Amino acid sequence: MSTSTPLEPELDGLSEGLSTVRLPRAAVLLVAALAVAVSGGLALILGWGLVGTVVLAVVLFDIGLPLWSRLVEGGRYAADRLATCLVYSAFAAVLVPLVWLIWLVLKNGLGAIDGEFLTYSMRGVVGEGGGIYHALMGTLLVTLATAVISVPIGIFTAIYLVEYGKGNRLARWTTFLVDVMTGIPSIVAGLFALSLFVLIFGPAIRIGFAGSVALSLLMIPTVVRSTEEMLRLVPSDLREASYALGVPKWRTIAKIVLPTALGGIVTGVVLAVSRVIGETAPLLVVAGATDSVNMNLFNGRMMTLPVYIYQQYSSPGIAPPTGGDPPGYARAWGAALVLIVIVMLLNLVARVIGKIFAPPTERRR
């Protein structure tokens, strides 16, 4: 003998609501083809360019597919399709300038890169020739010195804020100042470093270490924020278990907290380096520019890749008699491509380090 429950009518109504009419699988392609056709026709009539045609096609697609879904599937499916269309449209809008930038740099800079370009400086070069070796070495040295200054200060500041400064007035003021430093313009950091070194060494001082000090003002807040967030993600149970065993707090931080958050900390540091390696204004102000190789951070002007790009594009030289662009333009595009490759490699290294040092999860075990 079967018995029925009061839930059965509700389940039947739910199953009926789920078995609604759906759009065919080719609906997206049909609407996209119709949007492209209408946009192309209007572009031919009104004389629009490619950009206007593509924008109109995207707008027609974002309107047409949810409207068709509204008429056939109902309001819930239409809202879902509208949100999906907007997400994909926003993703495409972000992707277009990125792809265009990479294509433009590759198109203009790839032809300038060769063995001479990477191993020669601009010393004594007039017209064509020369390379970026002096700027490349300067960028590596200045960035390395910046990391040496910024990483210990940033990590120890984050440790204080998370482990020792809870509810402390000094910690609150430090957090506020870090937030302020995060938003300062790079030129302000350069002027601060310039005024500091001018007060100590005189008005003629231009050295690479001053550029490292200026960049450290931009890098320290990023290291503090990233390290602070990684330390907060460490479970409190690990700390409490260590304290319960009688381990001192400093040893708990050194042996438990930091190794657990090491992957995120290293990733944040590498990303902070990627953020400052392309700064131009502070280096132009305090490190100056030169056409020779200088491997001493504490003596003489030092060229870096961002300043080299600015200098070559602002003073490209004289165009050849046979026609074409001045030689400085090709060198600037080539240096820009090298700088982008360096930043990309740093980001890839950060990803790999994050994977290697990430704490094991249940799935990985």
Predicted pLDDT at 157: 94
Query: Phi/psi at 11 (nearest 5 deg)?
Result: -65, -35
CA end-to-end distance (rounded Å), the chain: 50
Residues 223-236, mean pLDDT to the nearest whole number: 91
pLDDT in tens, 305-357: 999 999 998 888 887 777 778 888 989 999 999 999 999 998 888 888 877 87
Q: Burial, 40: exposed, middle or buried (Cβ in 10 Å; 0-12, 13-18, 19+)?
A: middle
pLDDT at 361: 56
Upper half-sphere CA count for residue 140 (Cβ side, 13 Å): 10
- pLDDT, residue 7, reads 45
Contact 158, 228 (CB under 8 A): yes
Residue of 27, 273, 314 lying closest to 143 (CA atoms): 273
pLDDT at 10 over 60: no
Q: Which helix (H) or strand (E) segment is 146 a member of?
A: helix 133-159
Pairwise CA distance, residues 289 & 285, whole Å:
9
> Has domain 117-357 been given CATH number 1.10.3720.10?
yes
Residue among 345, 205, 325 at smallest CA distance from 273: 345
* Residue 149 CA, distance from chain mean position: 21
| CB-facing half-sphere around the CA of 37: CA atoms within 13 A | 6
> pLDDT above 90 covers what percent of the chain?
36
Mean pLDDT of the chain: 86
Which residues, 6 or more positions from 131, have their beta carbon under 8 angstroms from its beta carbon? 116, 117, 118, 119, 120, 121, 122, 331
Predicted local confidence at residue 20, as pLDDT = 64
Given a cut of 50, whether residue 284 has pLDDT beyond it is yes
pLDDT tens for residues 22-71?
888 888 899 889 998 988 888 888 888 888 888 889 999 989 989 988 88
- Closest by Cα among 273, 287, 337 to 309: 337
pLDDT tens digits for 160-185?
A: 999 898 878 898 999 999 988 888 88
Q: What does the domain layout of the chain look like in residue ranges?
A: 22-111, 117-357
The per-residue pLDDT for range 135-154, each reduced to its tens digit, is: 999 999 999 999 999 999 99
Q: At what angle do helices 262-276 and 208-232 cross, to 10 degrees?
A: 150
What pLDDT, on a 0 to 100 scale, did the predictor assign at position 227? 93
> CA-to-CA distance for 276 and 218, rounded, in angstroms?
7
- Report yes or no: 307 and 90 within 8 Å, Cβ to Cβ: no
Going by pLDDT thresholds of 50, 70 and 90, the confidence category of residue 8 is: very low
